[in-house]
Amino acid sequence: MEISANKSSALPAVAGKKKESYLSRLKKNAISHWQLYLFMLLPIIYLVIFKYVPMYGALIAFKNYIPTKGVWGSEWVGLKHFDRFFHSYEFVRVMKNTVLLSLYSLVAGFPFPILLALSLNYVNARFFKKTVQMVTYAPHFISVVVMVGIILQMLDPRIGLVQTIMKFFGMSAINFMGVPEWFSHVFVWSGIWQNVGFSCIIYLAALAAVDPSLHEAAVVDGASKLRRMWHVDLPGIMPVAVILLIMNTGHVLDIGFEKVLLMQNPLNLSSAEVIDTFVYKVGLASTAINYSYSSAIGLFKSVINLALLVIVNRIARKLGETSLW
């Protein structure tokens, strides 16, 4: 009993010693490498000012916000605006369009950068490889406004290039931007065309880190290029792919604002209205501006995205060793 008591009394001292040594070591590192801590301080200040301080404004989602009264002076209404959104006739349509567009973009767009990176990784002709990279990267740097203008011109039912080609082959013209069912296809595949080249950069970097001895051993065993892709390259870039998939899942309801709004028109609005454009119209573009209602919708979207991120990250951690945290 006396020995155990001595041991138990020594535990806090040991813990305090470890804590003190850690703090002293941190202080020593901060003094000797102050430049690195200064560089780290800048992004922390940015995150605090532009990411955490604005969270204070989320309070207006629970208030009947009046600008002249301020955030604290406005009346507290609790979950009234959330309940209003859940019971509005727009809720089902807006949520369905947002989820379908986002999942469509995720499922259709996720494999293409991987396939492009794998294909470029096995191209030996340097000039051809650089040309393909330039052609696929270039659309990413086109402005969204310019991109939508190009799409509208190409799909114009009277003078558009796509319509001209269809008429040449004897097919009837289709008003792609006037038929609600075509909106999701135009939106998703134009986005894939614009971003597939830029998105494959990180996979090319991951492929460069694959151990060359694995490829040498596969070649000695007589493996074809497809077999090497499947058994060497894909396992090598799988951790990167899982991380990107988790991060993309955390933006399921962030379908984008500018492109959707620019592509909307009264004919395709039934399938083109998403949460971001609905918040803009309710909060700023309508005659009766309602800051609290639009903030409640935006906060609901953020909470759902955070929940999906945590759930998918936990699933990835259980299925494998790769996760964000």
Domain edges within the chain: 81-319
Q: What is the pTM of this model?
A: 0.81
Burial 61-79 (b: 16+ CB within 10 A, else e): bbbbbeeeeeeeebeebee
Structure tokens at 109: 């767009």
**Alpha helices (H) along the chain:** 2-32, 34-47, 70-73, 80-86, 91-109, 111-121, 126-137, 144-154, 161-168, 180-199, 201-208, 212-220, 225-228, 234-249, 258-263, 269-272, 275-280, 291-319
pLDDT at 188: 93
Per-residue pLDDT tens, the chain, 325 aa: give them: 444 444 444 444 444 444 457 778 777 777 777 888 888 888 999 999 998 888 888 889 999 988 888 888 889 998 999 999 999 888 999 999 999 999 999 999 899 999 999 999 888 888 888 899 899 999 999 999 999 999 999 988 888 888 888 888 888 888 888 888 999 999 999 999 999 998 899 999 999 888 888 888 988 888 888 888 888 999 889 888 888 888 888 888 888 788 999 999 888 998 999 999 998 888 877 766 788 898 999 899 989 998 988 998 888 888 876 777 7
The distance in angstroms from the start CA to the end CA of the chain is 42
Q: How far apart are CA 293 and CA 283, in angstroms?
A: 7
Q: 158 vs 182, 184, 257, CA distance in Å?
A: 17, 21, 28
Buried b / exposed e over 173-203, threshold 16 CB at 10 Å, is: eeebbeeeebbbebbbebbbbbbbbebbebb
Q: Is residue 266 within 8 Å of residue 91, measured between CB atoms? A: no
Instruction: Domain 81-319: give its CATH code.
Output: 1.10.3720.10
Residue 64: phi and psi, rounded to 5, are: -90, 80
Separation of alpha carbons 220 and 232, rounded Å: 14
Number of C-beta neighbours around residue 301 at 10 A: 20
Farthest CA pair distance, the chain:
98
The backbone region for 63, taken as left when phi is positive above 0, alpha when psi lies in -120 to 50, beta otherwise, is beta
